[in-house]
Chain A
């Protein structure tokens, strides 16, 4: 039990630290690399939750593909540290932070109120899931969620066509500066 707890605290420390640096670092390239670290940490947390296949997919898709795209675009633009990373305006900033605080309070309150209801059956239920759930995942995906799967195929096709059209768009209403 203590080993599990230690791994959880260690991983959550890494994840939270790198997530904070995504938000705080002025250089967007460092932000992107911190986000990669966050995603690797979340993938490790998935492993602690027994979702091995999803952890691998998280590494392949998020860390290996999406973030490569982000880093590549940042390097194409060659954006160094910005002079002003955060938006101006003290009143609006305070309002935004207050919004975040309010939402955090709501979620925290909800968690506290629901603590008695959710936590009890956890260990008994957790044993139901097979240790290597990849096959179970495939079977459920291709029986219960098969239409979602096909819809995502169409979505990906539309996106592939749309991004190519966007990336080569010329002209428009604005003259070139």
Chain B
């Protein structure tokens, strides 16, 4: 393949690289941010990145199962967000705190 095709022909690799980049951004956010809500949002971003690669694989391998897996991931992500935010709201209501460092002290 000549090198200019990288920009004009979109292959599976393009979607996978994009998905990996989104996943990395999400991971960096999870590791570096302090606000626990933002950390949860970054986890959602990582799940979305995985969904993108599922759909790309589904398209380029001609099988529909990837889309169904995305459907399931979507459900689990939403459930996770619901429980996580319920916990965060619970803690915030009592301690007025969303810093992830503070959550280390919640023991016993």
Given A8-B10, A107-B20, are A69 and B82 neighbors across the interface (CB < 8 Å)? yes
Residues of A in contact, count (CB < 8 Å): 87
Is A100 a contact of B28 with CB atoms below 8 Å?
yes
Query: Contacts A49-B59, A100-B28, A167-B90: A86 and B44 contacting too (C-beta < 8 A)?
Result: no
A111 to B53, CA, bound (A): 12
Q: Contact: A50 with B59, CB < 8 Å?
A: yes
Tell me if A87 and B101 are in contact (CB < 8 A).
yes
CB-CB under 8 A from A9, the residues of chain B are 7
Verify B74–A61 contact, CB threshold 8 A.
yes
Chain B contacts for A169, CB-based, 8 A? 90
Q: Give, as a whole number of angstroms, the nearest-CB distance from A107 to chain B.
A: 5
B88: shortest Cβ distance to chain A, in Å?
Answer: 7
- C-alpha gap A126/B66 in the complex (Å): 13
Contact indicator B85/A73 (Cβ below 8 Å): yes
Within 8 A of B (CB), among A82-125: 82, 84-87, 93, 96-97, 99-100, 103-104, 107-108, 111, 115, 118-119, 121-122, 125
Q: Please state if A159 and B74 are interface contacts (CB–CB under 8 Å).
A: no
Q: Which of A62, A118, A145, A166 makes the CB contact (< 8 A) with B48?
A: A62
B65 pairs with A140, CB closer than 8 A: yes
Which of A79, A99, A144, A159 has a CB less than 8 Å from the CB of B98?
A: A79
Q: In the complex, what residue of chain A is closest to B41 when comparing beta carbons?
A: A35
Of residues 67 through 100 on chain B, the ones whose CB sits less than 8 Å from some CB of chain A are 67-68, 70-72, 74-79, 81-83, 85-90, 92, 94-96, 98, 100
User: Using a CB–CB distance below 8 Å, which chain B residues touch chain A?
Assistant: 7-18, 20-29, 31-35, 37-38, 40-42, 44-45, 48, 51-52, 55-56, 58-65, 67-68, 70-72, 74-79, 81-83, 85-90, 92, 94-96, 98, 100-101, 108
